[in-house]
Structure 1
């Protein structure tokens, strides 16, 4: 691997009017640093968001996922409530509008959360609480085709996300396999399919509140209705839909691994107006719980000197321990599940101890 890659230039001072586009196919050989890798690192450091094309996922599979997403949310309310997340210690299942919390305010969306389909870990007194995140999904009897499409999507998107992670490592002059152990089995990736109902102008427009993502990489598919916004030095940047392209952003765990060279960026979703609906499919590529700790990459000096250290929000502290960090995010977002299945962690929230959760 080349050690003579040029230093990444500083962020531009002029405001951006659109996200850049990365073609994963152009990154080519994962063992060789190219100008395309240098561009990837620059974009990820400057704004932390980009469109991803050339990902290799067939458009027919994308169309099936978009169709079945709409079919799920068209189910009767009682069918969705039968698989409510509040019934799952693994934080899997349906959440109605206002049921998830971001920065202490309800998000005006309905969603169903999935994860890797794995057996639950036996909960003995000495078992760390965060192993409760592993387990089976909940599936609606009224839509049997959903299970096959979701599990296929988890597999397909995992492969694309790993290719992209390896490209990032090459861009930072690391071996492409440097984080393979971090994303090894048992996998801990998550998927949300989401519906944002329209809101009247007199109501809150918090589809999702201002936040950062907690994993390594997020790969998001949007429909034709906008609403995603990314924070920049010049204000909020709209991220309009791009057909069959993912919107990719850096998660906090990749920020930790690079000592802040790559930074997770703040974003939000503004609700559509009354009469409209927005649908999206969000895949969160995350470290395996088995890996325990996020390793710190040994960046070459010309990159290390530009690493700013991970940025921790006092209201949402970062932990290098993977399970602790993952459970913290779930507990803070789904208070009903936390109170029922994680009373100790819920009590820490209730006692307003942000240093713990």
Structure 2
């Protein structure tokens, strides 16, 4: 049986990129290989802006349900927009959370435009609430997207260096101009705001699929996020003021031949009488338009550090599809999680994989 390994999440100081880069790269390498999660402090996104982001996030979820439904995912094949409490499925069980998915603004394919690959249907405009009911929401969310994309680009270059690669080895090949990167506003109701049969699964045990890095802003000082260490034990990842939590996606793990670990994590709903928990996530995506190939150039001494025995409660649904066709994988993953949207816009694909509304 594997013995316990990490019991806390390391905090990395981005100031060291200019003051002590070798120490930062060493700490980052350890986090990538042995943890798969880390906090970053002294990042470039201002605290005042994050306060405004928090206000807009809570403002959206405080809107009347009929207003939120006007931007519901069901209105678009992109899977962007609002998802009501309990609508998403993880590990065949509903997640107790509301969410709003957003991305950089891109046009949908024109009606007369030939779509060559099914993942192109995922690209399209966001479904925004009216500015009359939530002034400044769209501008704030898109500004966060811009800043988070810049931060993720800096981080993925540091990741490459930490693993002994050229700084552009990942960014130049697997992130392309005009690519869509997604984000998510999330509200986790407290236990006493749920039905007694709902349980406490805010989001079930999972790994972030197909992405390179996830950057998470924990907007509430409430417990909930837990990381599964590689011996299978759950470790709390509490909110740390003025930091982001960063974790490895399965896309990055695949590209670097399993050296960086996409660690399993989950979120529990907050305790009773504590109110809801809010967070904002940004997912730096790997390109979907071609088969991805693991990078060359990883030093033998780095490859030797790969974790061999990693216990995980997360599944590996459609993993073979990802290796052959990342775009198809992205669509299947979203159909599986948001089945009402999937069955409406991708009925043949959903049927082929046994996905129906209400199925488990």
User: Aligned residue for 2:213?
Assistant: 217
Change (3 A) 1:95 1:266: same
Task: Please provide the CA RMSD for this pair.
Answer: 2.4
| 1:343 partnered with 2:341 | no
Contact preservation (8 Å) 1:188, 1:287: no
Matched with 1:303 is 302
* Residue 196 (1) aligns with residue 188 (2): yes
Given the superposition, is the C-alpha separation of residues 308 and 230 from structure 1 closer, same or farther in structure 2, using an over 3 Å criterion?
closer
- Which residue of structure 2 lines up, in the alignment, with residue 277 of structure 1? 276
**2:217 maps to 1:227:** no
Within 5 Å, give how 1:138-217 maps onto structure 2: 138-141=127-130, 142-179=133-170, 180-200=172-192, 202-203=196-197, 204-214=199-209, 215-217=211-213
- Separation in 1 of the partners of 2:144 and 2:326? 24
2:17 aligns to what?
27
5+ residue gaps in structure 2?
A: none
CA distance in 1, matches of 2:127, 2:309: 35
Between the aligned partners of 1:181 and 1:122, the Cα distance in structure 2 is: 28
Offset at residue 313 of structure 1 (A):
4.0
C-alpha offsets along residues 168-202 of structure 1, whole Å, 9 cap, x if unaligned?
A: 00011111011223112122211100111112494
Q: CA contact under 8 A between 1:120 and 1:132: conserved in structure 2? A: yes
Change (3 A) 1:149 1:98: same
Q: Indicate conservation of the 8 Å contact 2:10/2:31, yes or no.
A: yes
Aligned length: 338
TM-score (norm 1): 0.88
TM-score normalised over the length of structure 2: 0.88
**Aligned position for 1:261:** 259
Q: Displacement of 1:322 after TM fit? A: 2.6
Task: Give the match's secondary structure for 2:319.
Answer: coil
- CA shift, 1:327, in A, is 1.6
Q: How do 1:29-44 and structure 2 match up within 5 A?
A: 34-44=22-32
- Taking the aligned partners of 1:126 and 1:79, their CA distance within structure 2 comes to 32
1:259 and 1:310 in contact (8 A); partners too: no
From the superposition, tell whether residues 313 and 15 of structure 1 become closer, same or farther in structure 2 (CA, over 3 Å).
closer
Change (3 A) 1:199 1:236: same
Q: Give runs of aligned pairs for residues 82-93 of structure 1, distance below 5 A.
A: 82-93=70-81
Q: Distance in 1 between matches of 2:348 and 2:83?
A: 22
Match of 1:317?
A: 319
Task: Tell me, in whole angstroms, the C-alpha distance in 1 between the residues paired with 2:162 and 2:25.
Answer: 5
Specify every segment of 5 or more residues in structure 1 that has no aligned partner in the other structure, as ranges. Answer: 1-11, 353-357
Task: Confirm whether residue 327 of structure 1 aligns to residue 331 of structure 2.
Answer: yes
**Is the CA contact 1:33–1:173 (under 8 Å) kept in the aligned structure 2?**
no
| 3-state SS of 2:246 partner | strand
Distance 1:225 1:33, change over 3 A: closer
Aligned equivalents of 1:339, 1:104: Cα separation in 2: 16
The answer to whether the Cα contact below 8 Å between 2:85 and 2:96 also exists between their aligned partners in 1 is: yes
Distance in 2 (CA, whole Å) between partners of 1:159 and 1:293 is 25
Cα shift at 1:274: 3.2
